């Protein structure tokens, strides 16, 4: 039997999936969490050695349990948290903690440069000048970290997203590469060419030699060598940023296909095909994937906080002991009239689509003396759904062809949240049998890279588990109105 190994390097942990290469059945998976580092308010970091260790632990666990010969793995697929920015030398030694996509330390830099460079950034990259993206984080590392400055002077510096760091480690430092879906999140790649843009590099003051080579999404990125966790000679055949991997794993390969991933944050991607569509409503334009010289684009909506809001209830308010308990607590609210004025605005790290306010703070409003934990739990779930619905509303305006929403990620297992999403967005929500679609996407991507699967046949591998159809209820339309009014009053 031959196998595929999918490595899903996420914000809170690394997950490895072992998949039968013939049937595409997931045989085993293991997640290994690692530290979240908060040096200052609004700053979020990861230790690259923690990331590497978590990948090794998760890979070793599935291989050990399944008792397979690692040499029977015919391909590795990598999907990763995208904008998180790494600095390491050419031997693979980290020069600083990775700066996580949630980190807002470059907000002032963006505010200062936005008036003169926002339009250029949007035109070339499809992105606003925002701390979210990697280019500003790279500039900060060069300006503030002595070891990074020294490495730059010595021409011994690698600046990249997490995928490139993992490939560098897996190939024993031989390969320093990325692909378009990750490169498009740096603010340094030109969307029309899928190449690093000289004008953007000059603006951010970053040398092209510090950056990885941009390859197509399904190709040979190198082979394992001296990796420790795997034998030499296993090819890495597929890489996609986590949201694009979910789009691919959800078989959203036709124009108008849309997916929503509910993880730490929540992200929606809409496949626009070979059309480079610029949003008029605050959405991002991004690369979906590239293969055989074909460039596929997407529109994206971003909510920085989704599952992390439930974690906040668990860890900070102590109102639940585990994240799944939020549903039971929310179900205590049987009279929706008690919820009409209660809003949970989960903007702990600013607002993403469509407002892009990096200074916004979270809030719970509309409380009365009879408000209890159940109301707050339900409001938290509603806040997640309403945040995503802001993106859905933008999609409807920018791209008239909008299919039903396919969902994945940990919180997609929450039936109450999924029904809320259907009700607020007035779109059917389709949950697949396999909700590990990010890892599944890059696993199938390996077979695409080998020429064994055609992209247009992706739908054969997608199976529906449950559909949530939208309900007509004035409560949800009224709540949307209150949500819009409150955001305008508090944040705009």
pLDDT at 429 over 80: yes
Extents of the domains making up the chain: 3-234, 251-492
Please list the residues that pair with 85 across neighbouring strands.
99, 161
Instruction: CATH number for 3-234: choose from 3.30.420.40, 3.40.50.1860, 3.40.920.10, 3.20.20.140.
Output: 3.30.420.40
Residue 149 to residue 138: CA distance in whole angstroms: 11
Contacts of 368 (CB under 8 A, 6+ apart): 341
What is the per-residue pLDDT for 6? 96
pLDDT interval class at 447 (50, 70, 90): very high
Q: Which residue has the tokens 């004035």?
A: 474
pLDDT in tens, 380-416: 999 999 999 999 999 999 998 889 999 998 889 999 9
pLDDT in tens, 59-98: 999 999 999 999 999 999 999 999 999 999 999 999 999 9
Query: Rounded to the nearest 10 degrees, what angle do helices 415-425 and 373-398 cross at?
Result: 40
Residue 293 to residue 83: CA distance in whole angstroms: 24
Phi, psi for residue 405 in degrees, rounded to 5: -95, 120
State the Cα angle at 174 between 171 and 176, rounded to 5°.
Answer: 95
pLDDT in tens, 103-118: 999 999 999 999 888 8
Phi, psi for residue 302 in degrees, rounded to 5: -130, 130
Residue 356 to residue 311: CA distance in whole angstroms: 23
Nearest to 140 by CA among 128, 127, 131: 131
- Proportion of the chain above pLDDT 90, given as a percent: 84
pLDDT in tens, 471-484: 999 999 999 999 99
pLDDT in tens, 312-353: 999 999 999 998 899 999 999 999 999 999 999 999 988 989
pLDDT at 212 over 90: yes
What is the per-residue pLDDT for 459? 86
pLDDT interval class at 491 (50, 70, 90): very high
Contacts of 193 (CB under 8 A, 6+ apart): none
pLDDT in tens, 355-377: 988 789 999 999 999 999 999 99
What is the mean predicted confidence (pLDDT) over 175-185? 97
Strands (E), 70-118: 73-80, 85-88, 98-99
Q: Specify whether the CB–CB gap between 167 and 177 falls below 8 A.
A: yes
Please list the residues that pair with 347 across neighbouring strands.
none
pLDDT interval class at 130 (50, 70, 90): confident
Q: Which two tokens stand for residue 73?
A: 């793995």
Nearest to 387 by CA among 320, 479, 456, 255: 479
Residue 161 to residue 48: CA distance in whole angstroms: 11
Which whole-number Å values give the CA distances from 487 to 351, 360, 476, in the listed order? 10, 10, 16
pLDDT in tens, 262-315: 988 899 999 999 989 999 998 999 999 999 989 999 999 989 899 999 999 999
**DSSP per position, 266-299:** EEEEEEEET--PPPSSS-EEEEEEEETTEEEEEE
What is the per-residue pLDDT for 434? 82
pLDDT in tens, 19-47: 999 988 899 999 999 999 999 988 999 99
pLDDT interval class at 12 (50, 70, 90): confident
Fold match between domain 3-234 and domain 251-492 = yes
Architecture of domain 251-492: 2-Layer Sandwich (3.30)
Rg (CA), the chain: 22
Q: Which two tokens stand for residue 58?
A: 């998760």
The gap from C-alpha 458 to its chain's centroid, in whole angstroms, comes to: 21
Please list the residues that pair with 26 across neighbouring strands.
19
pLDDT interval class at 251 (50, 70, 90): very high
């Amino acid at each position: 039997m031959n196998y595929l190994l999918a490595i899903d390097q996420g914000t809170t942990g690394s997950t490895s999936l072992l998949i039968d290469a013939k049937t595409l059945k997931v045989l085993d998976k293991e997640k290994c969490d690692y530290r979240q580092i908060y040096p200052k308010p609004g700053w979020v970091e990861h230790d690259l050695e923690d990331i590497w260790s978590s990948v090794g632990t998760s890979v070793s666990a599935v291989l050990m349990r399944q008792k397979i010969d690692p040499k029977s793995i015919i391909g590795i697929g990598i999907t990763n948290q995208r904008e998180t920015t790494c600095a390491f030398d050419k031997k693979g030694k980290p020069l600083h903690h990775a700066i996580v996509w949630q980190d807002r330390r470059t907000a002032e830099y963006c505010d200062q440069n936005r008036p003169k460079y926002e339009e250029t950034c949007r035109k070339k990259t499809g992105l606003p000048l925002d701390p979210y993206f990697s280019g500003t984080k790279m500039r900060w590392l060069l300006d503030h970290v002595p070891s990074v400055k020294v490495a730059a002077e010595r021409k011994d510096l690698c600046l990249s997203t997490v995928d490139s760091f993992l490939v560098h480690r897996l190939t024993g430092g031989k390969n320093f590469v990325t692909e378009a879906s990750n490169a498009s999140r740096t603010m340094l790649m030109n969307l029309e060419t899928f190449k690093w843009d000289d004008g953007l590099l000059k603006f951010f003051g970053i040398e092209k030699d510090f950056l990885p080579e941009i390859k197509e999404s399904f190709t040979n990125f190198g082979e394992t060598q001296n990796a420790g966790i795997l034998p030499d000679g296993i090819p890495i055949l597929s890489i996609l940023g986590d949201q694009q991997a979910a789009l691919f794993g959800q078989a959203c390969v036709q124009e108008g296909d849309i997916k929503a991933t509910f993880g730490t944050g929540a992200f929606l991607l809409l496949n626009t095909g070979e059309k480079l569509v610029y949003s008029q409503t605050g959405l991002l334009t991004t690369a979906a994937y590239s293969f055989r010289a074909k460039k596929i684009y997407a529109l994206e909506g971003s909510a920085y906080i989704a599952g992390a809001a439930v974690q906040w209830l668990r860890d900070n308010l102590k109102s639940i002991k585990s994240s799944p308990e939020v549903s039971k607590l929310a179900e205590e609210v049987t009279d929706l009239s008690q919820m009409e004025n209660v809003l949970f605005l989960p903007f702990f790290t600013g607002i993403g689509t469509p407002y892009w306010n990096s200074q916004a703070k979270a809030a719970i409003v509309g409380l009365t003396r009879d408000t209890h934990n159940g109301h707050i739990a339900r409001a938290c779930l509603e806040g997640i759904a309403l945040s995503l619905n802001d993106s859905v509303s933008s999609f409807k305006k920018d791209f008239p062809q909008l299919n039903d929403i396919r969902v994945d990620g940990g919180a997609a297992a929450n039936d109450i949240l999924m029904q809320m999403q259907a009700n607020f967005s007035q779109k059917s929500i389709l949950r697949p049998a396999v909700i590990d679609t990010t890892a599944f996407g890059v696993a199938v991507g390996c077979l695409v890279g080998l020429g064994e699967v055609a992209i247009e046949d992706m739908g054969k591998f997608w199976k529906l588990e449950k559909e949530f159809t939208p309900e007509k209820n004035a409560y949800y339309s009224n709540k949307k109105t209150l949500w819009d009014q409150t955001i305008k009053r508090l944040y705009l």
